[in-house]
C-alpha cells in the first residue's frame, strides 16, 4: 500500500472513531515497549501490586502486543469520556468514583470497538484484530501516551490538555498498517504536585509511581480481605477514589459525557447513609446489575459501607 492510501484510510478511520463518540484516537506501531519493561519489573518486585496476583501474569504480553494478536502492526488507542453530568452531593456520607456512576464501561466501550472493527473490515477488507478495555495484559496508558493522545501524569493517570482525565482508555490491536502518531514531547504537569499532596493514603510515591497496595481504589475494590490495620484514614470512599483527579488542574476543562449509558444510577445520587446501611443483596443485584460496582460483590461493598458507618458511630459517641 502506498503512503497516500494509508494516509486516506487512517484519516477516515479516525473520523469514524470520533463519530462513534470517542474523545480522542491515536495510533502506534505495534512493537516491544522497551522503556516500560524495567519499570514494570521493578513495580512487581516491590509488591506494589498488593494482592493483585494477576498483574504478575503474562509479563511478555504486557510489553509486546504482537503476542496478543498474530501479525499485529498497529495499536490504536482511544479515549471515551465518562465525566458525569450530575455528581453525588458534596456532603454525601458514601462516595463512589465517577467512573462507576453508570453502566459498566466494559460493555459500553466494547460495543463501540466492535462497531469500529466491523467498519474497518467493510471499508478496507479483512482485518484481523482484537478489542481491549481494561480486560487484558495491555499497558494502556503507555500505549495511549505513545500515540500522542495524552501524557502520563504524576498520579499515573493519562492526562489530556484541554480535556482532563475523566476518560476510559481502550485499544484495537490489529494487523493493519496505519499512519502512526508521535508521543507528546512535553509533560504538562510541570512543577504541580497537587495529586501527590492530596492522596489520603500516600499511595503516590513519586511522579507516576503508585504503590497500588495503598491506593484507595485497590483497598475498596481489589482487596478481598479485611483492611490492613496500619492504613491511613481515607474518607468516605466505598468504591474507587477520585481524589487525585479532583485536585488535578487539568480537570477544570472536563466536560460532561454525551454517553447516555453512563448516566448515573439514581440511587448513587439520592441514597442516604441509612439506605446504604440497609442495602440487601437482592437490592444490590437489582440496582447494580449492569454497574462496575458488581466487581466488589455484595459482601465487599457492605464491608466498605460498614467501615464508614463504624467511623461515624465512633465519632458520635
The confidence score (pLDDT) of residue 1 equals 67
Q: How far apart are CA 87 and CA 232, in angstroms?
A: 26
Q: How far apart are CA 42 and CA 48, in angstroms?
A: 9
Residues in Cβ contact with 276 at an 8 Å cutoff, skipping those fewer than 6 apart: 93, 94, 238, 305, 308
Residues in Cβ contact with 192 at an 8 Å cutoff, skipping those fewer than 6 apart: 154, 249
Helix (H, G, I), strand (E, B) or coil at 154: coil
Shortest CA distance to 87 belongs to which of 198, 309, 251?
251
Q: At what angle do helices 105-123 and 3-19 cross, to 10 degrees?
A: 140
> Across 110-267, where does the E strand assignment appear?
129-132, 151-152, 158-159, 167-174, 204-206, 209-210, 237-239
Output the nine-digit C-alpha cell for 211.
504503590
- Mark out the alpha helices in the chain (DSSP H runs): 3-19, 36-45, 59-63, 105-123, 140-146, 194-198, 216-217, 243-246, 266-270, 273-277, 281-287, 297-316
- Report the DSSP beta bridge partners of residue 209: 206
The confidence score (pLDDT) of residue 2 equals 79
Half-sphere exposure of 65 (CA within 13 A, CB side): 25
- Report the DSSP beta bridge partners of residue 172: 76, 131
Residues in Cβ contact with 7 at an 8 Å cutoff, skipping those fewer than 6 apart: 179
Q: How far apart are CA 39 and CA 104, in angstroms?
A: 30
Q: Is 0.85 topped by the overall pTM?
A: yes
The confidence score (pLDDT) of residue 316 equals 80
The confidence score (pLDDT) of residue 84 equals 96
Other CB atoms within a 10 A radius of the CB of residue 230 amount to: 5
Helix (H, G, I), strand (E, B) or coil at 76: strand
pLDDT digits (tens, 9 = 90+) for 196-244: 999 999 999 999 999 999 999 999 999 999 999 888 999 999 999 999 9
The confidence score (pLDDT) of residue 312 equals 87
Taking only the tens of pLDDT, the chain with its 317 residues reads 678 989 999 999 999 999 999 999 999 999 999 999 999 999 999 999 999 999 999 999 999 999 999 999 999 999 999 999 999 999 999 999 999 999 999 999 999 999 999 999 999 889 999 999 988 899 999 999 999 999 999 999 999 998 999 999 999 999 999 999 999 999 999 999 999 999 999 999 999 999 999 999 999 999 999 999 888 999 999 999 999 999 999 999 999 999 999 999 999 999 999 999 999 999 999 999 999 999 999 999 999 999 999 988 888 86
Residues noted as catalytic = 134
| CA–CA distances in Å: residue 303 to residues 148, 221, 262, 287 | 40, 11, 26, 18
Residues in Cβ contact with 85 at an 8 Å cutoff, skipping those fewer than 6 apart: 256, 257, 263, 264
The confidence score (pLDDT) of residue 313 equals 84
Amino acid at each position: 500500500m502506498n503512503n497516500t492510501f494509508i494516509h486516506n484510510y487512517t484519516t477516515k478511520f479516525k473520523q469514524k472513531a470520533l463519530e462513534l463518540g470517542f474523545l480522542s484516537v491515536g495510533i502506534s506501531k505495534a512493537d516491544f515497549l522497551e522503556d516500560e519493561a524495567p519499570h514494570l519489573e521493578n513495580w512487581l518486585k516491590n509488591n506494589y501490586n498488593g494482592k493483585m496476583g494477576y498483574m504478575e501474569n503474562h509479563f511478555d504480553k504486557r510489553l509486546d502486543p504482537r503476542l496478543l494478536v498474530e501479525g499485529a502492526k498497529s495499536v490504536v488507542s482511544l479515549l471515551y469520556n465518562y465525566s458525569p453530568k450530575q455528581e453525588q452531593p458534596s456532603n454525601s456520607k458514601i462516595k463512589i468514583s465517577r467512573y462507576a456512576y453508570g453502566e459498566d464501561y466494559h460493555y459500553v466501550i466494547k460495543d463501540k470497538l466492535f462497531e469500529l472493527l466491523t467498519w474497518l473490515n467493510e471499508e478496507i477488507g479483512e482485518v484481523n484484530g482484537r478489542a481491549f478495555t481494561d480486560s487484558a495484559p495491555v499497558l494502556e496508558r503507555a500505549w495511549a501516551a505513545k500515540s500522542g493522545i495524552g501524557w502520563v501524569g504524576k498520579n499515573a493517570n493519562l492526562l489530556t490538555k484541554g480535556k482532563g482525565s475523566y476518560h476510559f482508555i481502550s485499544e484495537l490491536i490489529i494487523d493493519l498498517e496505519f499512519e502512526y502518531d508521535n508521543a507528546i514531547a512535553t509533560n504538562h504537569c510541570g512543577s504541580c504536585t497537587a495529586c501527590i499532596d492530596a492522596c489520603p493514603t500516600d499511595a503516590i510515591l513519586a511522579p507516576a509511581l503508585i504503590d497500588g497496595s495503598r491506593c484507595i481504589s485497590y483497598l475498596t475494590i481489589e482487596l478481598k480481605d479485611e483492611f490492613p490495620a496500619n492504613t491511613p484514614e481515607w474518607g468516605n470512599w466505598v468504591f474507587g477514589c477520585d481524589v487525585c483527579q479532583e485536585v488535578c488542574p487539568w480537570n477544570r476543562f472536563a466536560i460532561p459525557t454525551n454517553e447516555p449509558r453512563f448516566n448515573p444510577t439514581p440511587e448513587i445520587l439520592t441514597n442516604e447513609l441509612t439506605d446504604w446501611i440497609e442495602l440487601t443483596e437482592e437490592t444490590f443485584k437489582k440496582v447494580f446489575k449492569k454497574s462496575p460496582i458488581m466487581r466488589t460483590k455484595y459482601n465487599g461493598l457492605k464491608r466498605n459501607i460498614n467501615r464508614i458507618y463504624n467511623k461515624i458511630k465512633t465519632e458520635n459517641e
